[in-house]
């Protein structure tokens, strides 16, 4: 937090490229935050999660989220930001973290069917940034395509808006 930056018209928060991004996991029945475990995820700049669930009887945490590739521009030049959607798996027994790219396209504002929050879901719906904060269409991604053949692009449907149509 940079209060001076906020007062002088700068950004109230910033980035530190010398630090490795981390994800924190709190056990479901934790008594307090002291039970949180941190996992380093180099190059993964998550601003918010789309969904997360457990696999392997709770030994694996799966998170789907946008990865802000150009994080240094996020607060000042939103038009230069590029966000891909990734799936991150954390093996709680070994501490191993793996990442799978779901799409290289510039996607943001993703959502799922609310009845699947905290459960494994099949589809993610996201806006196609053109550039942020504008959107030129929407896509539907199939999460299960990662399990089948490690597809580099899980998009199964796209709708591009026509002239004078806005999201």
Annotated binding-site members for Fe cation: 48
Distance, in Å, from the CA atom of 50 to the CA atom of 86, rounded to the nearest integer, reads 10
Binding positions: 48
Is 122 within 8 Å of 112 (Cβ atoms)?
no
**Residue bearing tokens 């494994």:** 120
Q: What are the angstrom distances between the C-alpha of 84 and each of 71, 104, 136?
A: 12, 5, 16
**Residue bearing tokens 């995820």:** 41
The pair of three-digit structure tokens given for residue 123, joined into one six-digit string: 């589809």
Provide the sign of the torsion angle of the four alpha carbons 108, 112, 114, 116, taken in this order: negative
**DSSP line for 154-166:** -EEEEEE--TT--
């Amino acid at each position: 937090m940079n209060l001076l930056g906020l007062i002088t018209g700068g950004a109230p928060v910033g980035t530190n490229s010398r630090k490795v991004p981390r994800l924190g996991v709190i056990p479901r029945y934790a008594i307090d935050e002291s039970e949180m475990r941190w996992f380093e995820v180099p190059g993964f700049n998550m601003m918010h999660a789309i969904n997360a669930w457990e696999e392997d009887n709770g030994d694996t945490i799966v998170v789907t989220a946008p990865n802000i590739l150009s994080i240094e521009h996020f607060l000042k030049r939103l038009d230069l930001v590029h966000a891909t959607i990734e799936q991150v798996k954390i093996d709680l027994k070994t501490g191993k973290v793996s990442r799978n790219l779901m799409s290289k396209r510039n996607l943001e504002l993703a959502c799922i069917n609310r009845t699947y929050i905290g459960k494994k879901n099949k589809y993610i719906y996201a806006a196609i940034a053109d550039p942020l904060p504008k959107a030129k269409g929407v896509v539907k991604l199939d999460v299960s395509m990662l399990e089948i053949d490690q597809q580099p692009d899980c998009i199964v449907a796209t709708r591009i808006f026509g002239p004078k149509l806005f999201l």
